[in-house]
Every structure is written in C-alpha cells, then in structure tokens.
Copies of this chain bind each other. A is one copy, B any other.
Amino acid sequence: MTGWRMRSYGPSGDDLAELILRDVSAADHPALWAMLEPVFRAGETYAVDTDISREDALGFWCGGNHRAFLAEAGGMGLGSYYICPNQGGGGAHVCNCGFVTAGAAQGRGVARAMLAHALETARASGFHAMQFNFVVESNTRAIALWQAYGFEVVGRLPGAFRHLQKGFIDALVMYRRL
C-alpha cells in the first residue's frame, strides 16, 4: 500500500491534487508532532494526557503494533493515521485506527481520504472489522464521517470523557465490518 495515491475532494470542492498516503518514517516526526501536539494539548478528542511529551506521543502513534501513515500533498504532511489490532488473541481480527489532520488542512477531505485508505489497508491486512473504542460525543464532524462510511454506534460510555470545556460527556464505541 506504500505510495498509494488518490484524488480527494473536500466538501468545499477543494482539490488536494494528488494526496499521497505512505508509511511514516523518522524524518516525518517533526511534521507529525506538529499535527499531534495541538490536538493532544487541546484535550477535546483524544483520551491522552494533555501534557504528554513529544517522545511519548510519537511512541503512542507509531510504536508497538501500530502502523502509521502520513497523508501528504506537494511534500506537505496534511494528516496521519495509525492502524493496529484492537485486541490480541481471539480479538485480533478487529483493527483500530486513530486519525489526525493538520490544523491548516481541516475541511479539505484529508480525513475522508485517510479513512478510505485505512479501510483498504485493513481489508488487505485481513482484518474483518474496524472499531473505534472511544469517540468523544462532541466530535460531531468525525462521527458524521464515520457514519457516512458505514460505522455504527455500538456502544455509549456515559460520562466517560472529561472534556476540558464541556465537562463530563459520553464517548461512543463505533464499529463496522469490512
């Protein structure tokens, strides 16, 4: 799947030209951290310590059994996602992913392109389903995108996320078969 290319059109009709999806390398870490840091510091969408270090954040995103991809156009990193088995043993046929879009690239269809690529990658890797374990209910843009791509809300965790602005709100478990 390395070097997978697609044309992607955001909701505004914005043309990303050729958005390339490729494996993250160590050389991409500065660009990746520049995307992750504001998202993690904001504490609005990921259940990650808001003061997480650069090293821990990159380790979380790219380390262990995660495979991480970079979405880039014109040599600029616009987004990234990782894919991994969601459980071990008898649960290893279901994958999990995490997505981040660079602030300046919001609303241009980068997340949609990454999701399409992730679904292809998951199928090619032999996974049977994809699960998001913890989708913060206020993250309505992401929820709408997942639903447009066939994900269903299969669980609701009451008050499971302490949003820095909104206080205790629900998190959703979303799932789709591949």
Chain A 59-116 interface residues, beta-carbon cutoff 8 Å to B: 86-94
Inter-chain contacts of A40 with B (CB < 8 A): 89
The docked-state distance in angstroms from the alpha carbon of A94 to that of B169 is 12
Q: What class of interface size applies to chain A in its complex with B?
A: 35 or more
The docked-state distance in angstroms from the alpha carbon of A88 to that of B59 is 14
Tell whether A157 is near chain B: CB-to-CB under 8 Å. yes
| B131–A163 touching, CB < 8 Å | no
| A155–B155 touching, CB < 8 Å | yes
Q: Which of B50, B131, B168 contacts A157 (CB 8 A)?
A: B131
Q: Which of B47, B52, B129, B161 contacts A160 (CB 8 A)?
A: B129
The docked-state distance in angstroms from the alpha carbon of A158 to that of B154 is 9
Given contacts A133-B133, A173-B173, contact A87 B158 (CB under 8 A): no
Give the residue name and chain of the B residue nearest to A155 (CB). B155
Q: Which of B92, B154, B158, B171 contacts A91 (CB 8 A)?
A: B171
Given contacts A133-B133, A173-B173, contact A47 B87 (CB under 8 A): yes
- List residues of chain A with CB under 8 Å of any chain B CB: 40, 43, 46-50, 52, 86-94, 128-129, 131, 133-134, 136, 154-164, 168, 171, 173, 175, 177
Q: Which 6 A-B pairs have the closest CB atoms?
A: A155-B155, A47-B91, A47-B87, A90-B162, A155-B173, A48-B89
